[in-house]
Amino acid sequence: MTEKPIKGKAFEVPEQFLNHLSSIKDKRLADEIQTLCGRVKQLVVELGISDECTGFITDGDLAIPWKNCFSREHRGTMSVRCF
pLDDT tens, position by position, 22-70: 999 999 999 999 999 999 999 999 999 888 887 766 666 666 666 666 6
pLDDT at 75 over 50: yes
Q: How far is 68 from 79, CA to CA, in rounded Å?
A: 14
- The letter for the amino acid at 19 is N
The answer to whether residue 15 is domain-embedded is yes
Q: Does a structural domain hold residue 70?
A: no
Q: Determine contact, residues 51/9, Cβ cutoff 8 Å.
A: yes
Does any domain span residue 64? no
Count of structural domains within the chain: 1
Residue 31: inside a domain: yes
What is the DSSP code (8-state) at residue 17? H
What's the sign of the alpha-carbon dihedral 49, 51, 55, 61? positive
* Predicted TM-score of the model (pTM): 0.56
Q: What are phi and psi of 52, to 5 degrees?
A: -110, 135
Domain presence at residue 38? yes
Structural domain contains residue 53: yes
Range of the domain at 45: 6-57
Residue 18 within any structural domain of the chain: yes
pLDDT the model gives residue 16? 92
For residue 71, tell me if it sits in a domain: no
Residue 74 DSSP class? -
